[in-house]
Structure 1
Amino acid sequence: MSNFMFISATVGKLLPTDYVGFTFFVGCMAMMAASAFFFLSLNQFDKKWRTSVLVSGLITFIAAVHYYYMRDYWATFQESPTFFRYVDWVLTVPLMCLEFYLILKVAGAKTGLLWKMIFYSVIMLVTGYLGEAVFMDQAALWGFISGVAYFAIVYEIWLGSAAKLAAAAGGNVLAAHKILCWFVLVGWAIYPLGYMLGTQGWYTNLIGSGSVDVAYNIADAINKIGFGLVIYSLAVKSTSNAE
């Protein structure tokens, strides 16, 4: 009884009309289900693909845990859980960059590519957090730096060494790489848009301002689960071809 009272006192109630809270809850459950799916499927793949599928499961599991806490934070304070969101991203986005390296190892990808993309992703996220939560009066400057790092990732996977390695690998790897590239270019575009809507800068007069938590939550689930499903499909096809 005491434990129930403690939980009731610390966790806010989600109202039926709280669509933001609903997307936090659905995002949490969807990514937890995806994690279970990826983890339980590991034994069906060749050893060289298991790490990629394992990382996919880790991405969605980390996100699910953070969404569990973000849902409660929203329900209690009715505020966007910016800190928890960025902690989630700073863990999962580098892992998504790792996925590019893992699938391109068959074409001879070096660890230099991995560290380059992780460096860009960390710069993108740290500067984004500084602009959104710390130096809010300089949000445009920090957002610009974050945007430069984002487009560095886009360049690397579309036109840089990662793209060349994917072309050299060909077949299923090239097809998977292209789909992941579209996730980064289109799916990740919601994040800089959300940043601009949630901060004040020269862009405010053009696009306005407001909360984009619903869009963030939906995009997070689609991007992270979608990333994992692309890797899963590649592992299935590659394992079948090897048999």
Structure 2
Amino acid sequence: MISPDQVVEMLKPTSTPGPIPTVIPTPPHYQESTAAGQRTLWVVFALMVISSATFSLLSWNVPTTKRLFHVITTLTTIIASLSYFAMASGQASSFACAAAKDKHEHVPDIPYTECRQIYWARYVDWALTTPLLLLDLCFLAGVDGAHTLMAVIADVIMVLSAMFAAYGDNKTAQHWGWYVIGCISYIFVIWHVAVHGTTMVRAKGVKVTRLFGSLALFTLAVWTVYPIVWGIAEGAHRMSVDTEIMAYAVLDLLAKTVFGFWLLVSHRAMPETNVDLGGWWSHGLGNVEGRIRIGDEE
């Protein structure tokens, strides 16, 4: 027969329940630049200003008819200077936010908001300066207007697609769909400038062909790194904003400043690179001397 004491002993709990996990909401995560990133922006701004002044001085004794490359290259670094000043001074940026989840083992996943700082001035800069760089290459190679226009349009679509992707949710087709569109547009840029330009530049001689080939290869190599950095930084959020700033700073200096010095110094020593726009560049459309007007009364 079982005694009452044995029944009480059997009914005792074998283990003490642990505390109930407390679920604390996860605050929004912000990925933004720090003092290191801001210093980098100021340094690049100063270098772009110095480059603009240097390019202007290089064109000081150059006749207007031979100043086309100088004007385009100087405008490129001036626009870049304005962009970097806007970013360095704390303007021209906003946060792109998307939903994310903080995973736990014993409780449900906790949703939170992830926000990354996007410098939209960078895309305004690229939308204006990269077409100018393409004009430099197209004028150097003697590319016809149709291919030049298509290259510029494809380039603008590429930049705008990157901006739309940066503000999209990085876990949706919206984000990576725009990224793919931008990459396809870049292929069209390569076709119209590099492939077609290589064919057209042969009519200008061996020296210009070599110069164009070197500049085009350098430009396309640098430009190809941009979507790689974008995919790691603004795409997958695997790179800090400061590192992103530094990476783009190096690329911008190579693509604009180094390219500009290389082109202008080579252009000065190579008369074959002069561009003849039929008098429009230096005299305008209404001031061509010696033109016969059919239908004038006198």
TM class by shorter chain equals 0.7 to 0.9
Q: 2:270 matched to which residue of 1?
A: 238
Q: Are 1:56 and 2:92 matched, yes or no?
A: no
Residue 80 and residue 188 in structure 1: after superposition, are their counterparts in 2 closer, same or farther (change >3 A)? farther
Which residue of 187, 196, 202 maps to 1:151? 187
Q: Are 1:119 and 2:136 matched, yes or no?
A: no
Please report how far the alpha carbon of residue 135 of structure 1 lies from its aligned counterpart in structure 2 after TM superposition.
Answer: 5.7
Normalized per residue, the structure richer in strand is 2
Q: 2:40 matched to which residue of 1?
A: 23
Q: 2:239 matched to which residue of 1?
A: 210
Q: Are 1:128 and 2:145 matched, yes or no?
A: no
Matches within 5 A, 1:139-218: 139-159=175-195, 161-200=196-235, 204=236, 209-211=238-240, 212-218=244-250
Larger CA Rg, structure 1 vs 2: 2
Please report how far the alpha carbon of residue 57 of structure 1 lies from its aligned counterpart in structure 2 after TM superposition.
Answer: 0.5
Please report how far the alpha carbon of residue 66 of structure 1 lies from its aligned counterpart in structure 2 after TM superposition.
Answer: 0.8
Output the amino acid matched with 1:100. L
Q: 1:5 matched to which residue of 2?
A: none
- Counterpart CA distance in 2 for 1:113 and 1:234 is 24
RMSD: 2.8
Normalized per residue, the structure richer in helix is 1
Q: Are 1:40 and 2:57 matched, yes or no?
A: yes
Q: 1:70 matched to which residue of 2?
A: 87
Query: Once superposed, which parts of structure 1, at least 4 consecutive aligned residues long, lie more than 4 Å away?
Result: 76-81, 239-242
- Counterpart CA distance in 1 for 2:157 and 2:94 is 29
Please report how far the alpha carbon of residue 170 of structure 1 lies from its aligned counterpart in structure 2 after TM superposition.
Answer: 2.6
Q: 1:6 matched to which residue of 2?
A: none
Residue 180 and residue 33 in structure 1: after superposition, are their counterparts in 2 closer, same or farther (change >3 A)? same
Q: Which runs of 5+ in 1 are unaligned?
A: 1-14
Output the amino acid matched with 2:264. Y
Q: 1:170-191 deviations in whole A, cap 9, x for unaligned?
A: 3332222112212332211221
Other structure's SS at 1:186 match? helix
- Counterpart CA distance in 2 for 1:145 and 1:48 is 39
Other structure's SS at 2:67 match? helix
Asked if the contact 2:169–2:175 (Cα under 8 Å) also holds between the matched residues in 1, the reply is: yes
Return the TM-score normalized by structure 1: 0.79
